[in-house]
Structure formats: C-alpha cells, structure tokens
Amino acid sequence: MDPLVQNKNESSADYGPSEMVADQPTFARIIGSIGAALTIFGGLAIAINLSGSVASIGSGWAAFTLAIGISSLLFHAAFDHELQFRRAYMLFGYMLLFMGAICFLLPLFGKPGMFGLGCIAFTLGLLFTMAFLRHETDAMVSGMAKGMLGLVGSICAVVGTTGCLIGPENLRSAQFLPEFFVAGLFGMLFLTSYLGGRGMSDDFTYKVARLALWGGLILFVYALLRSALPPLLHTFGYVKTRPADFFIPGGFLLMALGLLYFITASLISSESKLAVLTQRELGSMFFSPIAYFVLLGFVVAGWFGYVDFINRLSMSRNNIEPIVRNYVIDLVPVLAIIFIVPAITMRLLSEEQRSGTLEVLLTAPVDEYTIVLSKFLAGFVMYLVVWAPFGLYLLALPLSGAPPFDYRPLISFFVGLCATGAAFISMGLFFSSLSKNQIISGVLTFAGMLGLFIVAIIRERIFGQNPAGPWYQVLMHVSFLDVWNTTLEGKLVPKFLLFHVSTTVFWLFLTTKVLESRKWK
C-alpha cells in the first residue's frame, strides 16, 4: 500500500471530524455590555439625585439612560444562551420579583410604599425570567422558575380580585381600587406566563386554566348583577334607599378584570381552531424582535410625551380636570401610533405569502374567517400591549408628589381606544393581504393612518367655523382623535364608536374575500 494512503487512513482513524461549535452571540454581548454600563450609570445618577446631592445629569435623563440600559440587558438575555449569563439573569429576575413584591403589595394594605416602583420591578422581573426560561435546559431549574411565576400570579390574582370585591363604598377600598385592579392584571400576566411555559400537557395546568376561566366568568357576572340589580330594584320601588353607585369605577374594573381572565384562559386552554391559531400568531409575534422594537419605540415615545406633560403641568397653575386628556391628545403619542400600527400589521399576512405558508393554511381544515380573525386578534392584543407602558407612566405621578388626578376618564378612553384600535388593525390586516412585500403593506397602512389623522385637521381647519354643519358632524365621527377626546372627557357616546366598529367589520370582510380569491386561483 502506498505509504501516503496508509498515513491518511491512520490519521482518519485516530482523529475524528472537527467538533461543531455554535456561533457566539457577539452582537448581543456587545449590546449587553453597553446596557450594563448604561444601567450602572443611570442607577448611580438616580441614587445621587434621590440622596439630595446634585448630579451632573438630571433625574429625567438618568431615568431615560437607565431604561435604555435595562432594555439592552433584556435584548442580551433573550439571545445569549450561555450558562453563566442565563443563570445570572435568572438571579436578577428573582431579585426584581422580590423587590416588586415588597414595593407592590405593601401599599395595598395601607402601608407606605412605592407602588409604581413595584409595578416596574414586577414587569422587569417577569421579562428577565421569561428570557431565562427561553434558554434553560435543566428541567428542575426551569420547573422552579415556572413555579415561582405561578405562585406570584396566584397571589396577585387573589389580592387583586379580593380588593376589587370589597366595593368602592368602603373608603379604603376606593382609595386603593386602581392598585387592586393593577394587581389583578399582574396576576393574569404571571399566570399566563406560567401556563404558557408549562403548556396543556398535564392535568394540573389544564385545571388551573379552567379555574381562571370560570373564576373570571363568575367575577364578570357578579359585577354585572351588582351594578345593575340594585338600581333596578330601587327604580321599581322594591328598595327604599337609593343604593350606592357600584358600576363607576368598581363594577367596571371588576367586569374588565373578569373578562380578561375569561378570554385569556379560554385562548390558552381551548382546543378550538380560532384559539390555536391565535396562540400561534401571538407566539410568532413575541418570538420575533419586531415586537420588542415596536414596544421599545413606544416606550421611548411615551417617555418624551410624559416628560413634556409633566413640564406643562408644572408651568400651568390652572390644571382643569381631566388632565389626562392633555397627556393622550398630544403630538408624540399620535405620531407614534401612526407609525406603530403599520409595524404591527405589515407582516401578518405578507410574511405568510412570502414564505409560502399561506397556501398550507388555506388547504388546512380551517375556513378563511378563522384565519382572518386569529390574525386580527393577535394584532389587536399586540396593539393593547404597546399602550400598556404609556399608561404605566401615569403611576409615577403620585410618586413625584403630584396631587391625585381623576382617573375615571381613562375607563371610557379604554373603550374608545379598543374601538379605534380594532379599526386600525383590521385596516392594516387588509393591506397586508394584498402584497407579499411587507414594505408595501406597511406603506399602505401608514397612508391610511395618515389619512385618518388628516381628517381631524380638515374638520377643524376647514369646517370648524360651522360646527352644526353636516360635514363637520360626519368628519367628527370619522376622526379617531375626536373619539379619544370625547372619551377622555368621561363621555362614552355609542354613535361616535359606530363608524370605527363598522369599518372593523368591513375591513375584515374584505380581507376574508381576498383570501378566498387566492384559494381558488
């Protein structure tokens, strides 16, 4: 045998093929290093300002730097799977949950505390824990983390619903009613993360989901009956004493909380085609970086809007309620939502067409209406999640020493926000069904959002001299800014919501017809 061939065979036998080494997340680690530096710098600046000393950077910019740093750390936690990093973020998440429990729950029992700081700590603790669970391979460690989420969620759900059930006629409950409601919302978020992490693979998680479902339904029915029956009995003369008003705000908050628990548990535990497809769409959204970039963009925009709102409050001596109207109806949130709606909707159906998975969906045993509704529900949920940090900024007002403000217009504004948001998402979904190119879909949706914004300008500038004219009234129904402005005054007029609800049905119908035409091509 040729010696060269023999040496080659011996070397092949003695040395196996090279070991496959996974690519290191270099970019994520660079972002994480920058985020750690910004977090330390911003945290030290805030600590110096709180101690009474004067730092070289103000509290506003220090908080902004800290927010960018923590967002960068979250990006690193989501994409770096190394053992030392994910376990470090696990401990960081546990510390935040513990700090949130102390700051968040003590005010609910009449103790002095920092409720807003507890909300932020709970939110960040949940995000860091979920990022850690994304990469953890040890079953025991991940099981402990999921159990922690379930425990925190159960406590928050019990505290929140029990506090709302006390009733606003109790002075202490009326004072802390918004805090109890937020506690119930966090309970829903933690329980959803727990059930989503474990899945419906065993009987225990299925029973927990069904318990949340029936508990939410019972809460909704109880709040509805308690809000409606006593006034009816008093009207017909069965009760002599006029009952206290329970619907505003306690009954409405309790019905909203129960409905959220019912819908969320239904989506998680149901085996219907709509629920399964909606879960699939939500998973594809939150496992892609686009959702987090959209959320970060609205957080930054909301921060600038909040700082501008605080500056205007401090300079104005006559702050007439509702002051929240000046916070929402502003250039920053309006422009942000015009850009964010296309970012949410542009890939809903365009990506399915580009990747070729739309044909698989259309040939599956599911009708076009179910596909369209699942896409719509996922986009609508993302739209509401994007607004959540914008609302949480308002929790910082009591912490800054500002006097209490009237939060009740936010209840009617939420209804108007849902009606207009449904119209936005359905319009974007329709444009997403027209093209395989996400950029084209996004541009069309942006043009539609800009047109709706221009309607308000035309109504005010051209027809504003004749408010009683027919065109002024028509454009008022079309303009989403007028809906927001009306609801922020505490007025919930159904006729102003009719156009947006009707356009939602119209766009969804057109989207379904587009999918049907593609199916028969």
DSSP string, 285-343: HHTSHHHHHHHHHHHHHHHHHHHHHHHHHHH-S--PSPTHHHHHSSHHHHHHHHHHHHH
Compare 288 and 81 and report the one with higher pLDDT: 81
Q: Which amino acid is at 350?
A: S
- Look-up of token digits 């002095």: 112
pLDDT at 33 over 60: yes
Range of the domain at 358: 300-393+408-521
Whether 168 shows a pLDDT value over 50: the answer reads no
Residue-level pLDDT at 454: 87
Which one-letter DSSP state was computed for residue 1?
-
Nearest Cα residue to 64 out of 261, 233, 304, 270? 304
Look at residue 155 and tell me whether its pLDDT is greater than 60: yes
Cis peptide before 322 (omega within 30 of 0): yes
Both tokens assigned to 489: 């005054």
> In sequence order, what DSSP letters do the residues of 2-13 get, joined into one string?
-HHHHHHHHHHH
Q: Rounded mean pLDDT of 274-298?
A: 77
What is the average per-residue pLDDT within 391-414? 68
Average pLDDT, the chain: 78
In a domain, 441, yes or no: yes
Handedness of CA 67, 157, 173, 228 (dihedral sign): positive
Does a structural domain hold residue 219? no
Would you state the pLDDT for residue 399? Answer: 52
pLDDT of amino acid 324 = 74
pTM: 0.73
Task: Report pLDDT for 423.
Answer: 92
| Number of residues written out for the chain | 521
8 assigned to some structural domain: no
* Burial of residue 119 (number of CB atoms within 10 Å: 0-12, 13-18, 19+): buried
Residue 456 lies in a domain: yes
Residue 134 in domain: no
Between the alpha carbon of residue 513 and those of residues 58, 419, 516, 517, the distances in Å are 55, 23, 5, 6
Please give the average per-residue pLDDT across 151-175, as a whole number.
68
Residue 330, domain member (yes or no):
yes
- For residue 90, pLDDT beyond 70: yes
In which band, very low, low, confident or very high, does the pLDDT at 16 lie, cut at 50, 70 and 90?
very low
**Alpha carbon 395 to its chain's center:** 16
Asked if residue 391 has pLDDT above 50, the reply is: yes
Better-scored residue on pLDDT, 399 or 309: 309
What does the pLDDT read at residue 12? 47
pLDDT > 70: percent of the chain: 80
Distance separating alpha carbons of residues 481 and 329, to the nearest angstrom: 7
CA-based angle 48:98:65, to the nearest 5?
35
Q: Is residue 277 pLDDT above 60, yes or no?
A: yes
Q: How far apart are CA 240 and CA 323, in angstroms?
A: 38
CB 370 within 8 A of CB 277: yes
Q: What is the pLDDT of residue 507?
A: 92
Start-end of H helices in 167-251: 171-198, 203-235
C-alpha distances out from residue 25 to 77, 174, 287, Å: 11, 50, 17
For residue 307, being part of any structural domain is answered with: yes
- For residues 60 and 228, the model is more confident at 228
**Is the per-residue pLDDT at 109 higher than 60?**
no
The pLDDT-based confidence of 32 (bands split at 50, 70, 90) is confident
> Of 30-39, 54-63, 105-114, where does the model show the most confidence?
30-39
E-strand stretches of 259-362: none
Structure tokens that stand for 308 in this block: 């501008």
* pLDDT the model gives residue 175: 56
Angstrom distance (rounded) from CA 456 to CA 464: 10
Residue 476 has pLDDT above 90, yes or no: no
Mean pLDDT of 446-465: 80
Question: Which of 157-171, 294-308, 435-449 is predicted most confidently?
Answer: 435-449
> What is the end-to-end Cα distance of the chain in Å, rounded?
65
Highest mean pLDDT range out of 31-40, 293-302, 327-336?
Answer: 31-40
Look at 168 and 72; give whichever has higher pLDDT.
Answer: 72
Say how many C-beta atoms besides its own lie within 10 A of residue 416's C-beta: 23
Give the best-scoring range by mean pLDDT among 340-344, 388-392, 460-464. Answer: 340-344
Cα of 264 vs its chain's centroid, Å:
13
Q: How many CA atoms lie within 13 A of 58 on its CB side?
A: 3
**CA-CA-CA-CA torsion for 42, 43, 44, 49, nearest 10 degrees?**
90
- Scan for tokens 């250039």, then name that residue: 331
Number of domains in the chain: 1
pLDDT computed for residue 8 by the predictor? 47
Residue 476 lies in a domain: yes
- Angstrom CA distances, 53 to 50, 143, 430, stand at 7, 45, 55
Q: Does residue 170 surpass a pLDDT of 50?
A: no
Which residue type sits at 520?
W
**Sequence letter at residue 54:** V
What is the sign, positive or negative, of the torsion defined by CA atoms of 194, 200, 204, 206?
positive
Asked whether the predicted pLDDT for residue 427 surpasses 90, the reply is yes
Among the listed ranges 70-79, 233-242, 449-458, which one has the minimum average pLDDT value? 233-242
487 or 519: which carries more pLDDT confidence? 487
Structure tokens at 462: 């051209």
Angstrom distance (rounded) from CA 281 to CA 374: 7
Read off the tokens for 193: 């993360």
Q: Which of 271, 220, 268, 266 is nearest to 247 (CA)?
A: 220
Cα 257 from chain centroid (whole Å): 15
Q: Residue 426's pLDDT is what?
A: 92
